[in-house]
Structure 1
Amino acid sequence: MTQSMIDVLVVGAGPYGLSVAAHAQALGLRTRIIGTPMHFWDNRMPVGMFLKSEPFASSLGSPHPGRSFLDRHSEWDTMGRPIPLDMFTSYGRWFAEHLAPGPEETLVTNVAQDEGGYRVTLATEEVVRARTVVVAIGVGAFAHTPDVVSHLSPRALTHASEHRDLGVFADRDVIVVGAGQSAIETAVLLADAGARPRLVARTPRLAWNAPPRQSSSRLDTLLRGPHSGLGRGWRTWVWSEAPQVTRLLPQGARLELVRTTLGPAGSWWLRDRMDERVTVNLHQHLSGATEADGKVMVSTLGPNGPQIHSADHVIAATGYRPQLDRVTVLSPDLRQRLRRVAGSPRLDANFQASVPGLYFTGLSAAASFGPVMRFVHGADFCARRVARHIALHAGTRDTAVPKPVTV
């Protein structure tokens, strides 16, 4: 039997995957989305967490008006009011039900190029033929742990993204490595759960984001710049709202933007919760780690010389670093043929990789489109470009589909 070919298969059902699927379906593309909606957010983010992004910048990409986060939760239309994790994941599941229906709660195990498209193998052993594939796997595969502690056993070391319930650490000593929002919030939530957290970071001082405030006048907006999904300021507005411009920057400048924009810092609303329950050791560079008798000892070097910190467990809240070699759903041959930028896929103006018909979204696209792709706010721009380009690639006869983007 000849297997029919669909237009697009989306790998992943997080904010970017759901957004791409919604736009693709709205353009009449035969679409399948593989994954459980908001699974990473529901299962690998800690209970009690709040989003760092502002409510107006926390929407999935909808092809129709009236489906933003604030349309669902108009009572949250206040700058500086953080969104509870469960409220955001509930919004994502609602979005999936109404705008990207039909997610298949299984996994993709292999994507290989085939004549005329791709052969995608699912965990159910079904093989799907697709003209195009959109890789929207989120950040989970890219969890970064410093090399100096990476040899520790799973009993002694985990990444911050591995914990839904931090209550398992009650009455235990836990070292949290890092100085960004994830590290600080993890330490606070550990304290709330009855643990004894110790924050260890190389920075000499913790950074805190200032409370946002509305512009007082048009002159204030002109001088200080408008608000955007990444913060305030004219340059920030460009990185946030016009990633097609960011893509045109020299590669070195673009990668530096990704590295430095919204660097490690805690949200202003978290500052008061960071109290004496959390021991803080700053200006400490990790130098080694060992395990013995059920304890883990982390060695650091600082201005006052070496120190040893003992704990029951270490949590690395040290972010995510995209690397194509970790995208193991792609066949080794396919991965090897992809051109790269600092370990990420090199993408064209429509998020298409160097192998035609293969698209990347989210963090995997940050090296090409800039820092907004690290955040939910980038999902709408990404989804619109990807879906419209695929519609043209699939030969869809939809007069609403614009010409392909070439800049």
Structure 2
Amino acid sequence: MYDLLVVGAGPYGLSIASHAAAAGLNLRVLGRPMASWRDHMPPGMFLKSEPWASNLTDPEGRWRLDTYCATRGMTARHAEPIPVTTFAAYGLWFASNAVPPVDERMVSRVAAHPAGFEAVTEDGEVLHARTVALAVGVMPFTQIPAPLRRLHPSLVSHSSHHSDLEQFRGRDVTVIGGGQAALETAALLAQQGTRVRVMARADRLQWNDVPPPWQRPWWQSARMPHSGLGCGWRNWFYAERPGLFRRLPESVRTRVAATALGPAGAWWVRDRVEPVVEVLLDREITAASAVPGGLRLDTVSLTGGPLTLETEHVIAATGFRATLDRLGLLSDELRDGLATTADGSPAAGRDLESSHPGLFLAGLLTASSFGPAMRFVHGATFTATALVRGVRRRLRGTPLSDTSPARVGWSAAEAPSRARC
């Protein structure tokens, strides 16, 4: 019987495991380390976040990204993007130094058990733990526009489904979306000779500015402080005060989680897109159908007429939506009993504990409770500290049969609604 089972070995899972190990917990970590970066992003991509905001976290702060880069003769400087391959290697280095050995098997099912939880691995082994931390990343939550969902994967895919774009060399590809994933994917496709266009619902593309220097006059820093999510006091609040963010009204939290830091391209990818990539703005897909050689897209504009085009493949760079119903690894009984927020994501209490005692949440799953920082690596620092604190409280205190909202950090007045079957 483990004290804690960590499901997932990305930045959040590894950071949680480092803090849990330092706290003396008997834990097991399952999952392929840094899988999203190793298996779901093509070579040539870069981190959009600043290097100093992309650290995995250990209690002593020893295993930072800049430390890793220094050991490899590289630099991690402000306003200089880090290759995704470097970040993935950094995560593996962190795992080898700051985390107990990771069991790379995937977990196929988690269910409640009289003594806590029962987890079944992909090859059928059954593990038991008193508490569980779900750090499953973003891959279970890929979002594809409704008109495209029933088409064959040979015609439509999500941007996160590709670790190599070589298969599209010389073909015609339409990328849906206006954010960093869409724009950088389009840039890489164009670079290799793919005929590529970007289609977005917005009436113009948004581009992030070059960040101001790290060292600058005090009055500039006071007016527009740096934060892990960008400059400005609003971003600073989202990045550095997730615990306070959780005290906002639920309607405000869910709205901010859905709209803050909206789709935008990094400043350093702009020159790779605008001169070479066709951009179709103010366009929304209304229907899609397979045709010989590819698919036909019917689109509509709010300010213009309809437009129909044919393409060989669509890549939907349309983000992720972390709703409870997509947590397929949870047993039906456990999943259906969890409380949710207004947007359908599982609700998280003060220490990131769900409404089921002992089941803790991390990463994108908690953005509606703790804010936009949970969509980025930067949120792992707060999460690891708060979650392990909650696990320790759970292990030494409350009986696992007590499921009252007050026991997981909510007052009776702010207890969220129950999920519907």
* Same-fold call, TM cutoff 0.5: yes
List per-residue Cα deviations over 1:30-56 (Å, max 9, x = no partner): 000011111121011121100100011
Displacement of 1:369 = 0.3
User: Is 1:237 the equivalent of 2:236?
Assistant: yes
Deviation of 1:277 after TM superposition, in Å, equals: 2.6
Residue 406 of structure 1 and its aligned partner are, at CA, apart by: 5.3
Residues 243-300 of structure 1, C-alpha deviation per residue, up to 9 Å, x if partnerless? 0010000111111211222110000001111143311111112111111112211111
SS in 1 for 2:146: coil
1:311 aligns with 2:311: yes
| Alpha-carbon distance in structure 2 between the residues aligned to 1:306 and 1:235 | 38
The residue aligned with 2:413 is none
Per-residue displacement from partner, 1:335-367 (whole Å, max 9, x unpaired)? 000000121111110000000000110000101
Corresponding residue for 1:399?
none
Of stretches 8-17 and 213-222 in structure 1, the one that deviates more from structure 2 is: 213-222
Residue 343 of structure 1 is matched in structure 2 by: 344
Distance 2:163 2:212 in 1: 32
Q: Which runs of 5+ in 2 are unaligned?
A: 398-406, 411-421
| 1:400 corresponding residue in structure 2 | none
The equivalent residue for 2:415 is none
Partner of 2:389: 388
Could you tell me which residue of structure 1 aligns to residue 98 of structure 2?
99
Structure 2 residue aligned with 1:60: 56
The letter for the 2-side match of 1:51 is: L
Which residue in 2 is equivalent to 1:366? 367
Structure-2 residue corresponding to 1:326: 326
- Cα contact 1:196–1:277 (8 A) shared by 2: no
Alignment of 1:115-154 (within 5 A): 115-154=114-153
SS of corresponding position for 1:137:
coil
Q: Alignment identity in percent?
A: 44
**Over aligned residue pairs, what C-alpha RMSD do you find?**
1.5
Equivalences for 1:89-238 in 2 at 5 Å? 89-214=88-213, 216-224=216-224, 226-238=225-237
Q: Note the C-alpha offset of 1:391.
A: 2.1
- Residue type at the aligned position of 1:217: P
Structure 1 CA distance, aligned partners of 2:331 and 2:132? 13
Shift of 1:151: 1.8
Q: Of 14, 21, 24, which residue of structure 2 is paired with 1:18?
A: 14
Distance in 2, matches of 1:392 and 1:352, equals: 11
Q: Which amino acid aligns with 1:175?
A: T
Task: Tell me the distance in 2 between the aligned counterparts of 1:69 and 1:81.
Answer: 13
Shift of residue 155, structure 1, vs aligned partner: 1.2
1:194-242 deviation digits (Å, cap 9, x = unpaired):
2111111111110000000125211111222x10101111121111011
Question: In 1, Cα distance between the equivalents of 2:223 and 2:393?
Answer: 42
Q: How does 1:275-294 map to 2 (within 5 A)?
A: 275-294=274-293
Moved more, 295-304 or 371-380: 295-304
Deviation at 1:165, TM superposition (A): 0.6
The correspondence for 2:32, drawn from 36, 39, 45, is: 36
The one-letter amino acid paired with 1:71 is: T
Structure 1: which 4+ aligned runs deviate by more than 6 Å? none
Asked if structure 2 preserves the Cα contact closer than 8 Å seen for 1:79 and 1:213, the reply is no
Q: TM-score, normalised by structure 2?
A: 0.91
Contact kept in structure 1, 2:65 and 2:76, CA below 8 Å:
no
